Amino acid sequence: MRSIKRREFLGLSAGATAAILLSQCSKAQTQGSTASPTLLPGRVINSQGGLLSLDLEANVQPVPLGNRRANLLTFNGQMPGPRLEAKPGDTVQIRFTNRLNQPTNLHYHGLHVTPQGNADNIFLSVPPGERLTYEFTLPADHPAGTFWYHPHHHGHVAEQLFGGLAGLFIVRGELDELPEIKAAQEAFMVLQDFDITRAGDIAAPNPMAMMMGREGPIVTVNGQVNPGLAIPQGGLLRLRLLNASPARFYRLQLEGHTLHLVATDGGAIAAPIELSELLLAPGERAEVLVQGNREPGQYRLLNLPYDRGGMMMGGGMGMGGGGMGGMNHSMGNMPHQSGGDTAQPLATLTYDGSVAALPLPQQLGRVDPLPEPTVTRRLELSMAMGPGMSMAFLFNGKTFDEQRIDITPTLNTIEEWELANVDPDRMDHPFHLHVNPFQVISRNGQPEPYQAWKDTVLVKGNEAVRIRIPFRTFTGKTVYHCHILDHEDLGMMGTVDIQPA
């Protein structure tokens, strides 16, 4: 009985979806004709006895996308890739095979593990047809949190993520043991967008779209278009969100509900913070609690329009306004405003049954403030027009050179970096650093309202963001870059070589 009822509910929501997609006038309208599927959790691979061991293959596979099939890039044939779950202190062994027709590799975004050897080493390359076993150990004091893995082969990163290659890497720990968190229903949401040709292949972006960062009109949660999820009235929902898109921003709002932020990129914050909306730039994660404290009904998780700057690219050349011109393919990936001019439903929440109201947690974790830095640096984020249509994206006026060491911090010291977005086009650039999480100290001189561990931070046009980084545990060479992955592939990346103390 219950499942029939649910289907009726979801049937309604599919109608609403179709109407909205039609009004958006994009080719995504082809998706809206069937009932919303239930949000699927996807495959999970857990560590056992201190070891997370698995085979992982990157390949091209036909997979369902909305109500069609698309030839996407997958890990183990799944979209997104399997969710990996481990605990602090665990060893991770990933026997990786590259079945793509181009080189690739793996990066463990947000994990505090060594960048050397066959660990979180993005300078490794796995050629087509070859294999490599990744192996590393999570420190015993590694924070619990929502991390992820994805390819990081310079020059192919945007393309490979746009094909779908991404998966969650969850570290279970203290936050998961809080009674209020434990009582909540947990749902993972990997947000990805796609652009698919009529033949079902991944569409190639035009050069203009690459400058802004490629976006696709098909927006998915765990590879599904507008899936439904249900909680009991009175229940508590723990949403663990990942922006795995190469360039699309998600400005999230849940109709009728506020979001209670409990964790950011690097894990728990001190106490929940109530938000009416949540902006997730590419690479960022957040965990929020939702209280089922409304009347039974349908509440859409919306992606609201967001303007990520780029006056020349987006507006000044007559291509702005969110690509609304867009029945045709090229306009479909001509972003200026992520999500176009209208709110776009990502998922639909319904109520199913009821329970005695579950409380929100009062306290979550500790985020100790960092001491004064021993070194301060300034990094300028910008871009420059090259000959013809070419464009370079830069840190301190330089494009990425794997051989050049840009920053040499000393282990066990704290540095403060001023990230200054001096982009003449005032484009947003989400800054990301590997291996060591950081805290945001201020934005344009204004102190951050709360402390949190981050590994990716949005630096908007004309903004200067100060971050404080403790270089801990590991020496070796790694990178920082813009997480609009087209910008990274076009040079917006620098190297860090952490020196022994």
- Kindly list the residues in this chain that would bind ligand C2O in the complex (CB under 6 A): 107, 109, 150, 152, 283, 432, 434, 481, 483
Kindly state whether residue 248 participates in binding Cu ion, applying the rule CB under 5 A: no
CA distance 83 to 244: 13
Among 4, 2, 30, 8, which Cα is nearest to 17's?
A: 30
Kindly state whether residue 482 participates in binding Cu ion, applying the rule CB under 5 A: yes
Q: Which does 154 bind (CB under 5 to 8 A by kind): ligand C2O, Cu ion, none?
A: none
Cβ neighbours around 403 below 10 Å, total: 5
Beta carbon of residue 423, minimum distance to Cu ion (angstroms, whole number) = 8
Kindly state whether residue 454 participates in binding Cu ion, applying the rule CB under 5 A: no
Q: Which does 238 bind (CB under 5 to 8 A by kind): Cu ion, ligand C2O, none?
A: none
Q: Map residue 35 onto helix, strand or coil.
A: coil
Taking CA atoms, 372 is separated from 481, 490, 501, in Å, by 24, 34, 18
Beta carbon of residue 387, minimum distance to ligand C2O (angstroms, whole number) = 28
Beta carbon of residue 388, minimum distance to Cu ion (angstroms, whole number) = 21
Q: Which does 152 bind (CB under 5 to 8 A by kind): ligand C2O, Cu ion, none?
A: ligand C2O
Q: Which does 482 bind (CB under 5 to 8 A by kind): ligand C2O, Cu ion, none?
A: Cu ion
Amino acid at 138: L
**Residue nearest ligand C2O, CB atom distance:** 109
Q: Which does 27 bind (CB under 5 to 8 A by kind): ligand C2O, Cu ion, none?
A: none
Of 109 and 251, which has the nearer Cβ to ligand C2O?
Answer: 109
Q: Which does 466 bind (CB under 5 to 8 A by kind): ligand C2O, Cu ion, none?
A: none
Of 164 and 361, which has the nearer Cβ to ligand C2O?
Answer: 164
Q: Map residue 153 onto helix, strand or coil.
A: coil
> Mask of contacts with Cu ion, 79-118, x by CB under 5 A?
------------------------------x---------
Amino acid at 402: E
Beta carbon of residue 434, minimum distance to Cu ion (angstroms, whole number) = 5
Kindly state whether residue 429 participates in binding Cu ion, applying the rule CB under 5 A: yes
Among 37, 18, 70, 39, which Cα is nearest to 216's?
A: 70
Cβ neighbours around 371 below 10 Å, total: 9
Answer yes or no: are the C-beta atoms of 90 and 50 closer than 8 Å. yes
Distance of CA 293 to the CA centre of its chain: 28
Answer yes or no: are the C-beta atoms of 47 and 85 closer than 8 Å. yes
Of 169 and 299, which has the nearer Cβ to Cu ion?
Answer: 169
Beta carbon of residue 3, minimum distance to ligand C2O (angstroms, whole number) = 38
Answer yes or no: are the C-beta atoms of 54 and 133 closer than 8 Å. no
Answer yes or no: are the C-beta atoms of 130 and 98 closer than 8 Å. yes
CA distance 128 to 116: 22
Beta carbon of residue 481, minimum distance to ligand C2O (angstroms, whole number) = 6
Please provide the DSSP assignment of 287-326 as one string. EEEEE--S-SSEEEEEEE-EE-B-IIIIIITS--TTSTT-
Kindly state whether residue 484 participates in binding Cu ion, applying the rule CB under 5 A: yes
Residues that bind Cu ion (CB under 5 A): 109, 429, 434, 482, 484, 487
